[in-house]
Chains A and B, each alone.
Chain A
């Protein structure tokens, strides 16, 4: 058994004129709930489709559950539950038909679990797929992925289009049945508040590159906003500063480690440090990806490229 559920090495998908995924090195620890975040078009779905052997990479390699990828495709597909972004199934089939259809492909399929999920997520199982609302289609796709008893769930925006009650039920199901069992959940989402609650690892992808991959706890502990007032303060991102904004004598820094020492340094320069406050995931995400250029590369501790501080 390997330590990681998913690893990729320099994984890339390059279309003419677009580097959709550009040298991705992912490390998804086994047993984690990993939030895979990025803006629209950042490369999330392309990455996921490559992992599921639905798109072939331009170059790079990956390993899933310790299996050879993509050579062991069959074993991978049997052991990984997948929810696609489009949430499409055979239109004429009902939920019950689809259960019968999927069951033989998955050795660990459980009818009992499927029935339970149908109840918990309130899915009409006797209606043809094409007659289902978008929310119910998503739920049915999720049920099929969950009931196959997968060791790894790869979910492409699982909560998009779900109403708050069902979303709440889904999170409960995922935590009860998957987390803490050594099973891994890799999910992409735009709902940062929800990811912040359930995830313990976060990867942020921007323009096909991984900007940050870290335990959420580390992000919470290390990333700080430092508000200072004074003259001639450093105005360029460098070392641990990954974003700076100045207006008049007021300067706002976003730093990613040693915030206390950084603040002490500012004080030594005669500045008044007004506040040092922790950042939530949404603030970190916005500070990292709001600009054109990537401003942090690789993992925490890497040296960021110098970028313009004009905002």
Chain B
């Protein structure tokens, strides 16, 4: 199982599950149509409450990243979520702000901060 949670991190557990699944999809570790473990399997593997996993799955489904077949499991969706551009930007803005704050605090130049993002995109294999 690729998901790991850390209860001491301060980040809600369902968000940790969500972001790791998103990451796995973005990085290609999970491909379209791949099955995800059942809520109970994921919960018992991670020793967390099943409702926590269910919440993460609900959010991911709402975002269009996964789809649930009633009685037949959960799968990575075939199409990337078709959010409006403004909505996409809005979701990402807090992360950008955090990066900007931390980067400035560490006295990195704006170019260096942008370079970090570009490097991360490179690592994921995303071409401009």
- Chain A interface residues (CB < 8 Å from chain B): 33, 168, 171-172, 175-176, 179-180, 193, 196-200, 216-217, 220-221, 277-278, 280
Contact = CB atoms under 8 A, between A and B. Distances in A.
The size bracket of the interface on B is 20 to 34
Q: Which of A172, A175, A200, A217 has the most CB of B within 10 A?
A: A175
B43 A200 contact: no
Contact of A175 (B8, B10, B44): B44
Given A172-B44, A217-B55, A179 B49 contact: yes
A182 B5 CA distance: 25
A197 B48 contact: yes
Contacts, number: 52
B49 A280 contact: no
Contacts of A277: 10
A176 B49 contact: no
B47 A168 contact: yes
The main secondary structure of chain A at its interface with chain B is: helix
The main secondary structure of chain B at its interface with chain A is: helix
**Which 3 A-B residue pairs are closest in the complex by CB-CB distance?**
A180-B50, A171-B47, A175-B44
B60 interface: no
A217 to B, nearest CB: 7
Contact of B7 (A33, A179, A280): A280
A260 to B, nearest CB: 13
B43 A175 contact: yes
15 contacts: A168-B47, A171-B47, A172-B45, A175-B49, A176-B40, A179-B40, A179-B49, A180-B50, A197-B48, A199-B49, A200-B52, A278-B10, A278-B12, A280-B7, A280-B10
Nearest to A198: B49
A282 to B, nearest CB: 9
A64 B12 CA distance: 31
Nearest to B55: A217
B35 to A, nearest CB: 19
A197 B40 CA distance: 14
Contact of B47 (A175, A217, A220, A221): A175
A280 B16 CA distance: 14
A179 B43 contact: yes
A172 B47 contact: yes
Given A198-B48, A200-B49, A180 B8 contact: no
B40 A280 contact: no
Contact of A193 (B8, B12, B52, B55): B8
A47 B62 CA distance: 41
A111 to B, nearest CB: 23
